[in-house]
Amino acid sequence: MSKKQGSNPPVRATVKNIVNRQSAEGSYAVAYSTEDYGELKKSDSITFSLSNWHGKGQRLNHGQVVELRNVALFRHGWRATLAFPVIPTSKQHIERNTP
């Protein structure tokens, strides 16, 4: 994933910190990918604005696995411009993973 790349694969990451601010910078979350993605390593943090959270009314939680899109490297680290909750996508998937 390069800084200029327009379309890159989504990254699954775990939310480690949520920072709520009233200032102009706004609130944001810090997550770490669940696996290495080329230059992006599991030890690298990825930051995204809470205004870019697309949880359909769901509150973002510490420890939640999210799908980050439009991840790019900037001077101060990795940033994502879109964030979504990871949810089962089909009834078949739910049935297969139910104990």
The pLDDT tens digits of the residues spanning 54-99 come to 998 889 999 999 999 999 999 999 999 999 999 877 655 545 444 4
DSSP H or E segment with residue 91: helix 91-96
Q: Which two tokens stand for residue 83?
A: 């964030």
| Phi, psi angle pair for 29, to nearest 5° | -125, 155
Residue 79 falls inside a structural domain: yes
Strand order in the sheet with 11-19: 72-74, 77-79, 45-49, 28-33, 11-19, 65-69, 82-85
Per-residue pLDDT band for 25 (boundaries 50, 70, 90) equals confident
Domain with 60, as residue range(s), is 11-96
Residue 34 falls inside a structural domain: yes
Residue 2 falls inside a structural domain: no
Residue 41 falls inside a structural domain: yes
